[in-house]
């Protein structure tokens, strides 16, 4: 029997355990019983954000903030509705199986990957060093912390990403006059400065233009600036992801380019390894790290970050629309997204 067959059999046995003898589905009462058996290591003495965990959870599920958890607040009811895919008031086996794959498995058998984003020379001491950017952060400080984390944790996968641009890349300020500027652009190529946003003509896009923030020449393929920092330890068996390789479009995220016209192999690699949880760290939080984290969320991974493992550029525009998922402590994302 294959592993998939074994898992399928176990799911069926679990489903039968919690259904009534004369029923082929779980009602809300049976589903509540299932949840109580699933979460068996609950410890009310623990604290979350300085609060007793029971009080913290109570406030999370007291949705109308009346100091009571009533039927409309009930977490079991909320989850029941989430997993009752055909909205028939019952969780049948197909609902249960989908819930098992997307929610129960990550809880019981999480597989964690760490994505180390762009810890490259140019962002540390080169042409786009973060210490010279608005936030003036010392990017070298993340290196030993990342090394410690990749060494001590039993990661299913360790990934290192590279900004990996051709010499004629569209993001480079030095190349600003090489492409036609769209009439709607607020700056001309001649007037544009580093960090300005310019619009280039892009006939393939519906709007007719591609909007690009201009950066100094950085991380050019095969140069010292594109290499990982020499003190960063690259773990044996790790994966490498190269982004920003298309000269005509920028790529902040390790998953997609900025217009989602093409993707890297990262999602496929993670999915093939059964990864459920993604930890994102590196440079810079408000640009490539943030974009990678948001796409990990979008793809359904439980996504984490920590302020000690990242550093900011300090200009909010590249990450406009991105929530601050890295605020100095671990943040848990939604974990029931679709993959």
Q: Which residues are catalytic?
A: 118, 243, 288
Distance separating the N- and C-terminal Cα atoms of the chain: 26
CA-closest candidate to residue 313, choices 76, 162, 124: 124
**Own/partner pairs for 26-34, CB < 8 Å, 24+ apart?**
26/90, 26/91, 26/96, 27/89, 27/90, 28/76, 28/77, 28/80, 31/76, 31/79, 31/80, 31/91, 32/76
CA-closest candidate to residue 280, choices 338, 337, 333: 333
Say if residues 279 and 304 touch (Cβ distance below 8 Å): yes
Say if residues 290 and 283 touch (Cβ distance below 8 Å): no
Phi, psi of 226 (to 5 degrees): -90, -10
Cβ neighbourhood burial of 113 (10 Å; 0-12, 13-18, 19+): buried
Distance separating alpha carbons of residues 176 and 212, to the nearest angstrom = 10
* CA dihedral (305, 311, 316, 319) positive or negative: negative
CA 329 to chain centre: 15
């Amino acid at each position: 029997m294959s592993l998939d067959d074994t898992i399928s059999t176990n799911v069926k046995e679990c489903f039968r355990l919690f259904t009534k003898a004369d029923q082929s589905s779980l009602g809300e009462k049976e589903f509540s019983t299932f949840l109580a058996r699933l979460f068996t290591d609950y410890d009310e003495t623990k604290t979350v954000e300085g609060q007793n965990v029971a009080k913290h959870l109570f406030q999370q599920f007291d949705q109308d903030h009346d100091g009571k958890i009533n039927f409309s607040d009930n977490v079991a009811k909320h989850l029941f509705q989430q997993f009752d895919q055909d909205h028939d008031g019952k969780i049948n086996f197909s609902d249960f199986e989908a819930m098992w794959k997307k929610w129960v498995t990550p809880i019981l058998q999480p597989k964690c990957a760490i994505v180390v984003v762009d810890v490259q020379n140019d962002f540390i001491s080169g042409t786009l060093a973060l210490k010279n950017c608005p936030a003036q952060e010392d990017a070298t400080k993340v290196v030993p912390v990342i090394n410690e984390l990749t060494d001590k944790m039993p990661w299913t996968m360790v990934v290192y990403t590279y900004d990996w641009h051709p010499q004629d890349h569209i993001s480079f300020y030095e190349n600003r006059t090489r492409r036609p500027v769209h009439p709607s652009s607020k700056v001309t190529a001649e007037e544009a400065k580093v960090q300005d946003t310019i619009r280039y003509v892009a006939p393939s896009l519906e709007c007719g233009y591609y909007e690009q923030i201009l950066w100094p020449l950085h991380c050019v393929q095969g140069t010292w600036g594109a290499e990982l920092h020499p003190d960063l330890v690259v773990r044996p068996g790790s994966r490498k992801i190269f982004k920003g390789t298309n000269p005509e479009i920028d790529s902040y995220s390790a998953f997609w380019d900025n217009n989602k016209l093409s993707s890297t192999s990262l999602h496929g690699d993670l999915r093939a390894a059964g990864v459920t949880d993604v930890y994102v760290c590196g440079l810079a939080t408000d640009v490539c790290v943030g974009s990678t984290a948001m796409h990990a969320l979008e793809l359904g991974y439980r996504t984490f970050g920590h302020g000690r493992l990242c550093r900011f550029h300090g200009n909010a525009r590249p990450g406009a629309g991105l929530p601050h998922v890295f605020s100095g402590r671990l943040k848990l994302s939604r974990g029931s997204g679709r993959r």
